[in-house]
Amino acid sequence: MPPASRRVSPHVLREGVRVLGVAVRAEPRVFTLAVLGSALYAAMTVATAQVLGRVTEDVMLPAFRSGHTTAGALTAAVAAIVGVALLKALGVAGRRFYAGVMQYRMQAAYRREVTRQYLRLPLAWHHRHPTGQLLSNANSDVEALWAPIAPLPMAVGVVFMLLISAVSILVTDVAIAVVGFLIFPAIALINVVYQRRLAPVATRAQQLRAEVSEVAHESFEGGLVVKTLGRERAETERFGERAMALRDANVAVGRIRGLFDPVLEALPNLGVLAVLLIGSLRLEAGAMTAGDLVHVAYLFTLLAWPIRALGWVLAELPRSVVGWERVRGVLDASGSLPFGDRAPEEGRATALEVRDVRFSYEGAVDGAADRPILHDVSFTVPPGRTVAVVGPTGSGKSTLTSLLVRLVDPADGSVLLDGVDLRDVRRGGVAETAALVPQQTFLFDDTVRGNVTLGLDVPDERVWEALRLAQAEGFVAALADGLDTRVGERGATLSGGQRQRLALARALVRRPRLLVLDDATSSVDPQVEARILQSLREAQSADGEGAATVLVVAYRKATIALADEVVYLDHGRVTAHGTHDELLESSEGYRNLVNAYQRADAEHEAAEGGEEAMA
């Protein structure tokens, strides 16, 4: 993405025209209809001046001289004026309608394209780009990119209008045409200067929009932390700093526009005054008629506003080019995960093998990229077994779970399901086989059913089965509307434990062959957690070899004891692998960690019991 200090290319006009060419090629039919409407408006604008000139010369002046006129002459004059006005209105309506259709189609198309690219890009790419910036790319940058589309057909029509006007003025009077040929280049020159002055300021404003969006998203995302730690004022000041910078940038844009707009408005009016002055002298000398003078003067008056359309396009081009660069930065991004053509095996249980896996996060700071999170991690999990992954904070447990469901690929080594490398599985195959319940639970502002199924077409019986296995059946049945109860944004109406159980049911309803739980029951009490794991084991026993393989990141001793095997991670390496009892005997680090977890849990339960007793 372009940094805040980056300046727009000095060839903004050329780049802007190239961007507009992309839109024209994408919507040629709609653009043609918009330009035809603009051309009709332009032609009728010139025709209005000619009609008024003829009406003045053939109807009004004879009436003043003779003191009377005929109904036929007045009817013809009114019909000519009304006819031209109706055609002009039709041109305006056609131009605005089709220009709007073209603009909104392009915005919708590129928002969809940017969003699809977000979904295609691997998680490693998203780790390097703030969410607020990505929101800005898909929203304000796309909007700025196609902002010049609305005035573009008008500007094209103005070129057509200027050509017709130049011919019309030349035919009418050469001396007055010279005034027009001086005014129009002057307006074009001022527009060029305007665009060059505006470009860097508009670029800065566009970048600040993304920064404001980024800070706002971070503050809202971390709202609970901010309120808990009393950091509202600090976050308000941080947001206020960026908002004030955006305000200053927008004021600078407005200041430049305020300087140039009056000049661009005044020049055509000065042209009208010059035409009237020279025309009156030419009229007195008998070199032109009163109708010709009215024709030319009125034409200059009408051209004052349409010529501004050129300025509007030029004024929007800097923002458009900046938006194009930022959007193209997303669309041209590489790093998509490669896929093979292997289909997942049939059945429910799957064998998991992690072979010599090494991983580090790209773009890590302070040399962290040279220190892998995982080092030569290897272990196997037989089909239908429950394995607990245990380790101190920062040992790589969550990173390992991301590798198991192929959210990221290892730098070295491989992860295999039933002997097949995940990189050789076809697109969507891993999601059909494995399901991950992460630490951070996300619920949509939807119903319980919608959050569990996420659009999966399954009967309610299967949803209730998943809720039962996740120990969520009871509280869901007690909700006012059961499965149709809306849970609010991010599940605001539910407790942390209830949200985690719905997230677990979301994974179970897909009946995965590999279920990965990344500390997914940390917010539920130990008794409920034990029942959840026990229900999963009972389901496995009932299904026999068709049961799902479960890998759970755990820290509670009671939870770990329910696992068939334990993998102990320390500093990104597997330092022990065996049953819980075996590791208690053979691994001092494992024993100390599990006992420390157990003491912490006991102290926490004692503190809660003391509070209840005092109450």
pLDDT per position as a tens digit, 102-151: 888 998 999 999 888 888 887 777 777 777 778 778 887 888 888 888 88
Q: What is the pLDDT of residue 309?
A: 67
Identify whether the C-beta of residue 269 lies closer than 8 Å to the C-beta of residue 307.
no
- Indicate if the pLDDT at residue 545 is higher than 60: no
Quick check: helix, strand or coil at residue 479?
A: coil
d(CA 222, CA 451): 22
Q: Are residues 375 and 245 in the same domain?
A: no
- Indicate if the pLDDT at residue 614 is higher than 50: no
Q: Which residues contact 372 (CB under 8 A, 6 or more apart)?
A: 358, 359, 360, 411, 572
Provide DSSP, 495-564.
-HHHHHHHHHHHHHTT--SEEEEESTTTTS-HHHHHHHHHHHHHHHHHHGGGSPEEEEE---HHHHHTSS
pLDDT tens for residues 212-264? 877 777 777 677 677 777 777 888 888 888 888 888 888 888 888 777 777 77
Identify whether the C-beta of residue 547 lies closer than 8 Å to the C-beta of residue 540.
yes
pLDDT tens for residues 451-470? 888 878 888 888 888 888 87
Quick check: helix, strand or coil at residue 407?
A: coil
In the predicted model, what is the mean pLDDT of residues 434-458? 82
pLDDT tens for residues 49-92? 777 777 777 777 777 777 777 777 778 888 888 888 898 889 88
Residue 598 confidence class, pLDDT cut points 50, 70, 90: low
Provide DSSP, 257-325.
HHHHHHHHHHHHHHHHHHHHHHHHHHHHTTSS-HHHHHHHHHHHHHHHHHHHHHHHHHHHHHHHHHHHH
Q: Is residue 308 part of a domain?
A: yes
In the predicted model, what is the mean pLDDT of residues 431-449? 82
Q: Are residues 550 and 595 in the same domain?
A: yes
Q: What is the pLDDT of residue 568?
A: 87
C-beta pairs of 78-83 under 8 Å, 24+ apart in sequence: 80/51, 80/54, 80/55, 81/48, 81/51, 81/52, 81/55
Q: Are residues 403 and 276 in the same domain?
A: no
d(CA 98, CA 89): 14
Phi, psi of 337 (to 5 degrees): -70, 130
**More confident call, 605 vs 449:** 449
Q: Are residues 321 and 357 in the same domain?
A: no
Identify whether the C-beta of residue 90 lies closer than 8 Å to the C-beta of residue 325.
no
Residue 615 confidence class, pLDDT cut points 50, 70, 90: very low
Q: Are residues 318 and 360 in the same domain?
A: no
pLDDT tens for residues 334-349? 766 777 777 777 666 6
pTM for this predicted structure: 0.65
Identify whether the C-beta of residue 129 lies closer than 8 Å to the C-beta of residue 362.
no
- Indicate if the pLDDT at residue 608 is higher than 60: no
Q: Is residue 79 part of a domain?
A: yes
Q: Is residue 499 part of a domain?
A: no
Q: Are residues 273 and 371 in the same domain?
A: no
Pick the last residue of a domain from 331, 366, 381: 331
pLDDT tens for residues 575-592? 888 888 888 888 888 788
d(CA 524, CA 559): 12
Could you tell me the end-to-end alpha-carbon distance of the chain, in angstroms, rounded to an integer? Answer: 56
Q: Which residues contact 578 (CB under 8 A, 6 or more apart)?
A: 565, 566, 586
Amino acid, res. 596: A
Quick check: helix, strand or coil at residue 136?
A: helix
Q: What is the pLDDT of residue 97?
A: 92
Q: Are residues 118 and 220 in the same domain?
A: yes
d(CA 323, CA 414): 40
203: domain CATH number is 1.20.1560.10
Helix%, strand%, coil% for the chain, nearest 5: 70, 10, 25
**What is the bridge-based pairing of β-strands 352-359 and 565-570?**
unpaired
In the predicted model, what is the mean pLDDT of residues 462-487? 82
User: Among 196-200, 374-378, 432-436, 499-503, where is mean pLDDT lowest?
Assistant: 196-200
Q: What is the pLDDT of residue 6?
A: 38
**More confident call, 286 vs 597:** 286
Pick the last residue of a domain from 331, 362, 395: 331
Q: Is residue 1 part of a domain?
A: no
Q: Which residues contact 102 (CB under 8 A, 6 or more apart)?
A: 23, 27, 30, 31, 34, 149
pLDDT tens for residues 353-396? 888 888 887 654 444 445 678 888 888 888 878 888 888 877 88
Q: Are residues 80 and 214 in the same domain?
A: yes
Q: Are residues 323 and 367 in the same domain?
A: no
Q: Is residue 456 part of a domain?
A: no
| Residue 505, CA distances (Å) to 453, 472, 560 in order | 9, 8, 21
d(CA 163, CA 46): 10
Q: Are residues 317 and 376 in the same domain?
A: no
Pick the last residue of a domain from 300, 331, 362: 331
Identify whether the C-beta of residue 290 lies closer than 8 Å to the C-beta of residue 312.
no
Q: Is residue 546 part of a domain?
A: yes
379: domain CATH number is 3.40.50.300
- Indicate if the pLDDT at residue 502 is higher than 80: yes
Q: Which residues contact 18 (CB under 8 A, 6 or more apart)?
A: none
Q: Are residues 312 and 359 in the same domain?
A: no
DSSP bridge partners of 357: 377
- DSSP state for residue 571 in the 8-state scheme: T
User: Among 362-366, 417-421, 442-446, where is mean pLDDT lowest?
Assistant: 362-366
Q: What is the pLDDT of residue 541?
A: 44
**More confident call, 542 vs 137:** 137
For the ranges 73-77, 91-95, 526-530, 595-599, the one whose mean pLDDT is highest: 91-95
Q: Report the Cα 379 to chain-centroid distance in Å.
A: 40
| Residue 558, CA distances (Å) to 468, 526, 539 in order | 21, 8, 19
Structural domains of the chain, count: 2
Q: Per the structure block, which two tokens stand in for 350?
A: 């799957």
- Report the mean per-residue pLDDT for the chain: 77
Residue 603 confidence class, pLDDT cut points 50, 70, 90: low
**What is the bridge-based pairing of β-strands 412-417 and 514-518?**
unpaired
Q: Are residues 271 and 374 in the same domain?
A: no
Q: Is residue 568 part of a domain?
A: yes
Phi, psi of 598 (to 5 degrees): -65, -40
In the chain, the percentage of residues whose pLDDT exceeds 90 is 1
Q: Is residue 494 part of a domain?
A: no
Range of the domain at 396: 352-440+514-614
Say how many C-beta atoms besides its own lie within 10 A of residue 56's C-beta. Answer: 19
- DSSP state for residue 146 in the 8-state scheme: T
d(CA 390, CA 570): 9
